[in-house]
Structure 1
Amino acid sequence: MDAGKLVCGCKKVTYGDLQEAVAKGAKSFEEVQSATKVSTGCKKCTDHVKSMVSELLPR
């Protein structure tokens, strides 16, 4: 996915922001959320973002 793609319109979080949070050590959706504020507005993106974050996290 393109790093510039907006994944959370309320907080203006991009896919690249999610990647950066994981690269800097976030180990869960909650830690990515804390670092980026993703899905803390209307929360409509939560399920989709959780799926993206789970794919980015090391297994």
Structure 2
Amino acid sequence: MDMSEVICGCVGVTAQDIKDAMNNGATTLEEVQEATNAGTCCGGCVDKIEEIMIAK
């Protein structure tokens, strides 16, 4: 995956931003959302966020 890919277009969060949140201790979807705001507007990217979290 391209780490510069925008995963959440609503707030401009990239795959790297999600990885960074995880590296900083976020372990659940809710914690990633709190750290990045990804998936908190329309929710259309939640599946992509979860895919990135599973792939670690």
TM-score past 0.5 threshold: yes
Query: What number of residue pairs does the alignment pair up?
Result: 56
Give ranges in structure 2 of 5+ residues lacking alignment.
none
**TM-score normalised by length of structure 1:** 0.84
Higher Cα Rg: structure 1 or 2? 1
**TM-score, normalised relative to structure 2:** 0.87
Aligned pairs (5 A) from 1:42-53: 42-53=42-53
1:19 corresponding residue in structure 2: 19
Aligned-pair RMSD on alpha carbons? Answer: 1.0
Letter in 1 for 2:36: T
Q: Which amino acid aligns with 2:5?
A: K
Q: What are structure 1's unaligned runs of at least 5 residues?
A: none
Q: Does 1:30 align with 2:30?
A: yes
